[in-house]
Amino acid sequence: MSLLDKFDLIRKRENVELTGFEDRPVDIEKQLNLYTRDGQFYVLLADADYSERIEIERMIDQTGCFVTSVSSGMECMMEVTKDMYNLILLSRNMPRMDGIQTLRNIKSSTQSKCHDAKIYIILDEKVDEPDIYFENAGFDGIIRKPIDRAILQNIIIGLVPEKMLPDDEDLIEDIREIAEDAETLKGCDVRLIESLKSFKGDMNAYMEAAGKFCDEYDSYSADMLDALYTRNNNDYMDKMRHCRESARKIGAMYLADCFDDHVKMAKEDSLDVAESNWQSLVSEWEKVIIGLSSWLGKNSEVSGTTDVLVLKTNGIRLKSKDLKERVSDILSSLEMNNKEEAEKKLSKLSEYDLEADVRRKMDQVKRAFEKNNINIAVDILKGMI
């Protein structure tokens, strides 16, 4: 049962009502403490980054586990031949021997005393390989940076003997619940626990902000494209700033950095660069929206800037010259105040096999027609000639 279930959240697919929460805030500082229990649990940490290694070691030590930390795969191999460990955490990137090779060596070494240890890999926030790659390599689990204490504690709770756990069942349940929700949202690049701090643990307020962020996607993404294609630097920059701050507020830090890059592009009058980077921004944006919407119980469909409104084409590719002639023809109809004729010509043009960026511009022109924003349509079309 997640925190959302425990707080009896009433969900609706189209319009989530964030009601039914308990008055008490979520305690994101809950601490697992095994010091007073019988038994011992040994953890070995291998991470080449000194500051991160110290921080993770501190979090493990606070639980009451015995922790040893090393800075390389080679040092890790020396440790596993000397002592037995219950849990081994290996950073993906280490000099000379990375986490995957270290795992293989631990498993294959006849001198290793840790053949039965659970081994987790520590990954950077963004990696190229899918999770299944590390599962097939033999890891028992994945931990992503930045590491949340609740997630680390939840892993330990699942591995230590039951006799070592505190008698406080509510404590254990709360740690498990917040860890599960945090892990779920990490999958869409959202840091729940970090962002909850700014809401003082108020899950209700956090979810209202997250829901609003999802609801704004369609309108803001479409308006951004209008500003981008009409080369309206100030409008584009203002909307990017708004979305940057909204993303930071809900813990979508990588997406916030993407928005910030586009703010800088607008400042530098580099909307051509922004246009070439638009698809990568939208891909990350939609990843966050889909993940948050699923977690909130909202409709997870995104239907804004990347949709292709005309799915069937005649298979014919237009040369650049022919494309410009047809765009000029649409503009001529608009100059004669014949919107209906312009729409028919746009529809005919959209039947051709167009490049993705041209298709998006056609879609924006169609949306402008639907909203009767003729000036925006004209500016986009002129930018294509």
56 inside domain? yes
356 inside domain? yes
Q: How far is the C-alpha of 313 from the C-alpha of 309, rounded, in Å?
A: 11
**Residue 291 shares a structural domain with residue 337:** no
**Residue 133 shares a structural domain with residue 249:** no
In 3D space, the residue among 196, 166, 160 whose CA is nearest the CA of residue 181 turns out to be 196
Q: How far is the C-alpha of 376 from the C-alpha of 370, rounded, in Å?
A: 11
How would you write the pLDDT of the chain (385 residues) with one tens digit per residue? 444 443 333 333 333 343 333 445 565 555 676 654 456 899 999 999 999 999 999 999 888 889 999 999 999 999 999 999 999 999 999 989 999 999 999 999 999 999 999 999 999 877 878 889 999 999 999 998 888 888 999 999 999 888 888 878 888 888 888 899 999 999 899 999 889 988 988 999 999 999 999 999 989 998 998 898 888 999 999 999 999 999 999 999 999 999 999 999 999 989 889 988 998 999 999 999 999 999 999 875 555 444 444 445 667 788 888 888 999 999 999 988 898 999 888 888 888 888 878 888 888 888 888 888 888 888 889 888 8
Last residue in a domain, options 261, 296, 331: 296
344 inside domain? yes
**Residue 252 shares a structural domain with residue 156:** no
Last residue in a domain, options 103, 133, 165: 165
Q: Which pLDDT does position 40 carry in this prediction?
A: 85
Range of the domain at 355: 320-382
**Residue 142 shares a structural domain with residue 53:** yes
204 inside domain? no
The tens digit of pLDDT for each residue in 188-197 reads 999 998 899 8
Q: Is 374 exposed, middle or buried (0-12, 13-18, 19+ CB in 10 A)?
A: middle
**Residue 116 shares a structural domain with residue 232:** no
Count of structural domains within the chain:
3
Q: Which pLDDT does position 301 carry in this prediction?
A: 58
Q: Which pLDDT does position 371 carry in this prediction?
A: 83
**Contacts (Cβ under 8 Å, ≥6 apart) of 68:** 42, 43, 44, 45, 79, 83, 85
Gyration radius (Cα) of the chain, Å: 26
11 inside domain? no
